Amino acid sequence: MLRIPTILTADEVLDKAFKKASKAEHKGPTRLETVRETNISKIRSASDVIVSTLGKYVKAFPSIERLSPFYAELIDVTIGKDKLKKSLGAIDWCRGSVARVSREAIGSIAKARSIDDIDNFRRAAYGRISSIVKQIGNELEFVSNARDKIRKFPTVDISVPIIVIAGAPNVGKSQLVGRISTGKPRVAVYPFTTQEISVGVFERKRIRYQVIDTPGLLDRPLEERNAMELRAILALKHLADAIVFVIDPSETCGYTLAQQEHLLSSLKDEFGSTPMVVTENKVDVLRSDSDRPKLSAVSGEGVSELVDEVVRNLADSRKLQQCL
């Protein structure tokens, strides 16, 4: 989604800078001038490496305000937007400080009268630069983790119709996504297998649809939801053109039908304006006498009919009209 370079640790940034600096050489008319020019050049190249490396990091992270609401909120839920801003601010501060220290040291070296003085100024500058960069060690680590998380964000094309699969944990959402789309989410017998949002696609009558698998939702109010559940909520809120709510009436998922129905009614309250198809999964285990569409994501029974129903629900959406 976003191209962010590998983030080095504080020690790696310093290694890179001082390695480059160690190669600096200059020949002056006298030994004093040779030492002076060489040391100025060392400090300048160390500082340039640090300033440009850190500058790349600050620039690579998108200004959260400019992202679409889905990604902006996803960053906030997954990483914490204030902490990210603060870390990037600290990295930017480090850049400025290193540039200032190196300017001052170069000024002093330019006026120094002896080789010893030059060496001392250079050593002092290296020491200050090291300590400034080390001060942002934690921030670099935080930003590096943020990068890893952002790289795992799903790439969603918002111009293509999006079907979000939601429901309680362990009801068979991922199994269904795997069956109807190119998505291959992990399926397992225990709840909370899916922790991130993932995307698969399928085609019907030459129209492409995206299917989004989401982490399971518990029957509880928004303010009690954890980051994993909030990612599911974000997909429902910002991405869904249609929602498929999966119910497991067999209750082998570990949640009662009453809990699942209650969750469904709260999602209906929250996302009532989005077309929603409620389906009952695991008919191979239990077939209720409700008139909801039924399927087995394992055997495949009823799956194609469900897809037809969802596609019918999307027929009027503006996005689909644009795809025709």
Ligand X SMILES: Nc1nc2c(ncn2[C@@H]2O[C@H](COP(=O)(O)OP(=O)(O)OP(=O)(O)O)[C@@H](O)[C@H]2O)c(=O)[nH]1
User: Least separation, in Å, of the C-beta of 184 and ligand X?
Assistant: 11
Tell whether residue 198 is a contact of ligand X (CB under 6 A): no
Least separation in angstroms between CB 173 and ligand X: 4
CA distances from 143 to 81, 148, 218 (A): 11, 9, 31
Nearer to Mg ion, 47 or 174 (CB): 174
| DSSP per residue, 230-279 | HHHHHIIIII-SEEEEEE-TT-TTSS-HHHHHHHHHHHHHHHTTS-EEEE
**Residue 294, interface with ligand X (CB under 6 A)?**
no
Residue 296 found at the interface with Mg ion (CB under 5 A): no
257 to each of 6, 21, 252, how far by Cα in Å?
47, 67, 10
Please, what is the minimum distance in Å from the beta carbon of residue 238 to ligand X?
A: 20
d(CA 51, CA 74): 29
The contact pattern for ligand X, residues 110-149, with x = CB under 6 A and - = no contact, is ----------------------------------------
Rg (CA), the chain: 28
Site for ligand X contains 174 (CB under 6 A)? yes
CB 282 to ligand X: min, Å: 4
Min CB(307)–ligand X separation in Å:
15
Q: Which of residues 181-210 bind Mg ion (CB under 5 A)?
A: 193-194
Q: Is the CB of 10 or the CB of 232 nearer to ligand X?
A: 232
Residue partners of 293: CB distance under 8 A and separation at least 6:
277, 278, 279, 280, 302, 305, 306, 309
Give the one residue of 216, 249, 275, 302 binding ligand X; rule: CB under 6 A.
216
* Cβ at position 305, least distance to ligand X in Å: 14
Residues in 114-143 at the binding interface with Mg ion, rule: CB under 5 A: none
Q: Which residues bind Mg ion (CB under 5 A)?
A: 173-174, 193-194
Residue ranges in contact with ligand X by CB under 6 A: 169-175, 187-189, 191-194, 215-216, 281-282, 284-285, 296-298
